[in-house]
Amino acid sequence: MRPIPLKNPPNRFQRELVDYFDDAPLSELSVFEDTTKAVLSENDSPDIGFRYSLNPYRGCGHGCAYCYARPSHEYLGFGAGSDFERKIVVKPRAAELLRQVFDRSSWRGELVVFSGNTDCYQPLEASYRLTRGCLEVCAAYCNPVHIITKSALIERDMDVLSDLVSHADLGVTLSIPFLDAGVARAMEPYAPTPARRFTALRRLTAAGIRVSVNVAPVIPGLNDRDIVGLLESARDAGASGAGFTALRLPGSVAEVFEDRLKQELPLAAEKILKRTREMRGGRLNDSRFGERMRGQGEYMRTVEQLFVKTVDRLGLNRDRQQWTPKNSFCRPARPGQQLDLFSRR
């Protein structure tokens, strides 16, 4: 990754603010270890359809301007701008901690979603392999998994995923919000190209893995025109489902997003910001449950109708009504332990 100028919106949890009279210094990649003793996050938001998520990394090297997770970096004393992209926190004991959770008598094999916050297959995963280690634990315990990513690095773990899908429920959602590679590079500069993600989709479905595509976020005035093409390409690549969410700009994300727009897409910036305010009641963000994922107003109703009609025409999401999760969880036998007569493996 090329160094980028150090630039962060003001951190609401810190009183100090640094201004540079000359050009800001370059922000090099720094990696920090998280010594937390917990690896699963429990969600209670009515807008999120899962309870448990696992994030081996905090911060994300993909550098997506619209990422709603950026403010979470401020809890660590970092900034939501360049710090989020270059000061990455890793959880080296993630697999060990997950195994401890699965060994508790209270664990009943609930679905674990990888990447509820930042991408579990971001660039550092190529060397740290934390996600792979956690997936190996899930495979050993036959625990159901869903992975959300925009990275083709997931192909590296096809062996673990094939093992997992043969014993437990496994689903993958690939986030592909843009068709145009130039626009994608401007808004998510270090993520794989859209074409590369569609290649990953084909390879995953060819391996028998259930894959859906998430057009997320829909940015008004920018990628709304891509919806039909994205869904058609997803269907042709073998996707079984699709979803979308509207652009969310909580807290300091709004400043990062606006700066990136004006820098990379200056001719379209004002139109995009204007339409974003239209779908957010005159603001750039609406944090209300039930509204924050969808937006409001005539524009978003039109987008939603276009999405739903295209999904129906292409036959996507039909298996969701018929799909029921398997009760697959089982703890592997320990050395010297008597095997379970009814073990699923």
Q: From first to last of the 345 residues of the chain, give the pLDDT tens digit.
A: 556 666 776 666 555 544 444 454 456 889 999 988 889 999 877 777 789 999 999 999 999 999 999 999 998 999 999 999 999 999 999 999 999 999 999 999 999 999 888 999 999 999 999 999 999 999 999 999 999 999 999 999 999 999 999 999 999 999 999 999 999 999 999 999 999 999 999 999 999 999 999 999 999 999 999 999 999 999 999 999 999 999 999 999 999 999 999 999 999 999 999 999 999 989 998 887 777 778 888 988 999 999 999 999 999 998 765 556 667 999 998 765 555 555 554
Which residue in 320, 151, 316, 322 sits closest to 242, CA to CA? Answer: 316
> What's the sign of the alpha-carbon dihedral 141, 162, 135, 106?
negative
pLDDT of residue 56: 97
Rounded to whole angstroms, how far apart are CA atoms 69 and 82?
A: 13
Boundaries of every domain in the chain: 23-320
Question: Residue 299: what residue type?
Answer: Y
Domain with residues 23-320, CATH architecture = Alpha-Beta Barrel (3.20)
Walk across the sheet containing 210-218 and list its strands.
Answer: 40-42, 52-54, 112-114, 145-149, 170-175, 210-218, 241-246
Residue 223 has a CB neighbour count (10 Å cut-off) of 23
pLDDT of residue 21: 45
Residue 321 has a CB neighbour count (10 Å cut-off) of 7
Residue carrying the six token digits 């008597």: 338
Rounded to whole angstroms, how far apart are CA atoms 68 and 247?
A: 9
Can you tell me whether residue 103 is helix, strand or coil? coil
Rounded to two decimals, the pTM is: 0.89
Can you tell me whether residue 255 is helix, strand or coil? helix
**Dihedral, CA atoms, 235, 237, 242, 246, nearest 10 degrees?**
-110
Rounded to whole angstroms, how far apart are CA atoms 81 and 9?
A: 6
Residue 107 has a CB neighbour count (10 Å cut-off) of 16
- Over residues 71-110, the pLDDT tens digits come to 999 989 999 999 999 999 999 999 999 999 999 999 999 9
pLDDT of residue 275: 94
* Burial letters 237-261, b for 16+ CB under 10 A, else e: bbbbbbbbbbbbbbbbbbbbbbebb
Integer angstrom CA distances of residue 34 from 207, 242, 314: 34, 34, 44
